[in-house]
Amino acid sequence: MEAVLGEIRGAIERGEYGVGDKLPAEAALAQTFGVSRSVIREALRASAALGLTVSRTGKGTYVQAAGAAQNPIFGSYSARDLLEVRRHVEIPVAAFAARRRSAEDLDRLGELTERMRRETDDTAWVALDTLFHISVAQASGNPVFAKVIEEIRDALRQQSFFLNKLGDRRERSNREHEELVSAIRAAEPDAAGAAMTTHLDQVERTLTTIVSP
């Protein structure tokens, strides 16, 4: 998928496809690149998140901009808006979780990090990643926090998939999650908040690298 996206992105940025041009159909792209249509669909979703293309139901995929957007879109939210909310919600959530977590919360978070470490399927890992962040919010003891994370669940899933595929984030995310759980387990609110801050800093850094390589 990375290779296909790189080719599509390069062709658009070199002007081989102009703004408003229609890209070849999925089947034609699959044949050109020698990959499955599912790989093509993933690449087109990523190019749409970067703001390069837009898919129109029943009509195909069209070039929307000559260069990648500085603020990718995930679901209904921009990356900038999503990260801003995550910093204001998930950092204090991590600190509250360190103060209030139950034994069941610790078991759940430990189980999720272990499953993520073992998981090899990208889609399954992304689902676990999203569930992990919801579980941290639940461990805060405040159901409103959990509701907020649930509201942005689809955007988190899309962002996670994007970063994992294009930014090689999975291994680093696993380590960051494990450090966060260690701080929550140790009942250290400041350390938990710092661990979540580091995690979100790395998310932002990877996004910036993808948009402006």
**Domain contains 125:** yes
Query: Which H helix or E strand runs over 55?
Result: strand 53-56
Cα–Cα distance measured from residue 148 to residue 143, given in angstroms and rounded to the nearest whole number: 9
Q: Which domain does 37 fall in, by range?
A: 2-63
**Domain contains 26:** yes
Residues 83 and 12 in one domain: no
**Domain contains 141:** yes
Which residue, 63, 90, 110, sits at the end of a domain?
A: 63
**Domain contains 68:** no
Q: What is the CATH number of the domain that holds 43?
A: 1.10.10.10
Contact 127, 157 (CB under 8 A): yes
Which residue, 20, 43, 63, sits at the end of a domain?
A: 63
Q: What is the DSSP letter of 152?
A: T
**Domain contains 48:** yes
What pTM was computed for the model? 0.83
Q: Could you report how far apart the first and last alpha carbons of the chain are, in Å?
A: 17
Contact 41, 32 (CB under 8 A): no
- Strand pairing category for 77-78 and 73-74: antiparallel
Residues 203 and 180 in one domain: yes
Render each residue's pLDDT in the chain as its tens digit; 213 residues.
Answer: 888 988 998 999 899 999 999 999 999 999 999 999 999 998 998 888 888 899 888 899 999 888 777 888 888 899 999 999 999 999 999 999 999 999 999 999 999 999 999 999 888 999 999 999 999 999 999 999 999 999 999 999 989 988 887 888 899 999 999 999 999 999 999 999 999 999 999 999 999 988 876
Residue whose token pair is 């790395």: 202
Cα–Cα distance measured from residue 146 to residue 121, given in angstroms and rounded to the nearest whole number: 26
